[in-house]
Amino acid sequence: MQGNEACVEAALAAGLGFYAGYPITPSTEIAELLAERLPRAGGVFIQMEDEIASMAAVIGASLAGARAMTATSGPGFSLKQENIGYAAITETPCVVVNVQRVGPSTGLPTSPAQGDVMQARWGTHGDHPIVALTPASVLETYVLTMKAFAIADALRVPVILLTDEITGHMRERVVLPEPEPLPRPGRSRDGGRGNGQTYDVPPMRHFGEGRRLLVTGLYHDESGFWTESPEAADRMIRRLVNKVERRKAELTLVDRWYLDDARVAVVAYGCVSRSALRAVRQARSRGHRVGLLRPACLWPFPDHEIEAIAGTVEAIVVPEMNLGQIAGEVERAAAGRCRVIRYNRVDSELIRPDELLPVLEGA
């Protein structure tokens, strides 16, 4: 199946109840398939007038108790940012799929890129919590879509599935795991107390359940009422960010190849990691001690994983289909312990193993 098809299968298996979106290449197959299949599964599909409205509808459906998702690409992801910030501050769980393409603006609509990495983390204004997962295969698209819904519900955060045109459109033979259906709605009704007085992740009630709910994008206290108190504002935003940061260890998803004896490490994600793994294996067959670290969760960033390998290798190579968005994070985490070598393409072509191989051998 195709990567976008795997995303649909996973969303349905996870109990998706509502989808709102607007067709945009290269994510359109997700909307097309869900338009047909979600109503048959008892859910609601609606094509909105634009991506701003799509994100707003997803937030409303989630607040009413549905597991909700939207899918888009470059320009549409930009339009969603204000409402993603609203989901973050109101702690509304939702999944946003971004099948990346070349930008900015209209760019090259049918070509792959990895240029939305920093936008996924900092696209909306202000400090805010976010989780971003990035699959590298059709099967992993299925697995991480399921995980995205589970994380969104557990932490009450928007979760970004940051895929790309290659992963979304390539076809692979896959054996889908037996789904473990998430409870519906799968959200805590009791929450967990944090520092004595405030919740870590507060319980979530839904509209229509007989309680009066206060939902606002303004800074608010524990009761939900708007506040101008500096102390309450500080307490609220730190809690929102820390509920993700304090779970960084369990959110860290990395694969490691040949790092035990590596002199040079590669850090690659998404579609580029497949080329990187082939190049690493070719380099090792020629006697070069090269390894690969592949993060499947980019945000929160796996700093501790980078710190660990930076202390054991001479160089880290970071190939990306952008001008170095994750390379900067690698440099920050490596903190001068080793050289960081960037290898970038922004011409809409995938980084190939044969072009990456000499970079690894010369590192």
d(CA 313, CA 246): 28
| Partners of 96 in the β-ladder | 70, 160
Exposure string of 39-56, with b = 16+ CB inside 10 Å and e = fewer, is eeeebebeebeebbbbbb
Burial bucket for residue 164 (CB in 10 Å: 0-12, 13-18, 19+): buried
- The reported pTM is 0.94
What is the three-class DSSP state of 132? strand
Q: Is the pLDDT of residue 23 over 60?
A: yes
Each as own residue / partner, the long-range contacts of residues 197-204 (CB below 8 Å, 24 or more positions apart, any chain) are 197/222, 198/222, 198/235, 198/239, 199/239, 200/239, 200/243, 201/91, 201/154, 201/155, 201/156, 201/243, 202/91, 202/156, 204/91, 204/93, 204/156
The arrangement of strands across the sheet holding 254-257 comes to 254-257, 290-295, 264-267, 315-320, 339-344
DSSP secondary structure code for residue 40 in this structure: G
Instruction: Read off the pLDDT of each residue in 89-110 and give the average, rounded to a whole number.
Output: 96
Beta strands in the chain (DSSP E): 18-21, 44-47, 68-72, 94-100, 131-133, 158-164, 192-193, 199-201, 254-257, 264-267, 290-295, 297-299, 315-320, 339-344
DSSP state of 254: E
First to last CA, the chain: 37
Q: What is the pLDDT of residue 192?
A: 45
Interatomic CA distance for residues 318 and 311, integer angstroms: 16
Q: Tell me the sheet residues that pair with 119.
A: none
Instruction: Quote the pLDDT of residue 32.
Output: 97
Taking Cα atoms as reference points, which of 100, 122, 133 lies closest to residue 295? Answer: 133
- What is the helix, strand, coil percentage profile of the chain, to 5? 40, 20, 40
pLDDT the model gives residue 186: 52
pLDDT tens-digit series, residues 116-155: 999 999 999 999 999 999 999 999 999 999 999 999 999 9
Range with the poorest average pLDDT among 55-64, 176-185, 244-253, 334-343: 176-185
What domains lie within the chain, and their CATH numbers?
1-251 (3.40.50.970), 252-362 (3.40.50.920)
Residue that has been written with the tokens 């070598």 in this structure? 341
Q: Are 356 and 341 in contact (CB under 8 A)?
A: no
Question: For the chain, how many helices (H) and strands (E)?
Answer: 13, 14
Q: What phi and psi, each to the nearest 5 degrees, are found at residue 117?
A: -65, -50
| Three-state secondary structure string covering 50-110 | CHHHHHHHHHHHHHCCCCEEEEECHHHHHHHHHHHHHHHHHCCCEEEEEEECECCCCCECC
Dig out the tokens for 234 from the structure: 């500080």
Residue type, 229: S
pLDDT tens-place string over residues 181-214? 666 555 655 544 444 345 788 888 888 888 888 8
Please name every residue paired with 257 in a beta bridge, in sequence order, or none if there are none: 292
Q: What is the pLDDT of residues 310-325, one digit of tens each?
A: 999 999 999 999 999 9
Spatial contact of 220 and 226, defined as CB atoms under 8 Å apart: yes
Query: Strand 94-100's sheet: what is its strand order?
Result: 44-47, 18-21, 68-72, 94-100, 158-164, 131-133, 297-299
What is the pLDDT at residue 190? Answer: 52
What is residue 195's predicted lDDT score, i.e. its pLDDT? 43
- What backbone phi and psi angles, to 5 degrees, belong to 266? -110, 135
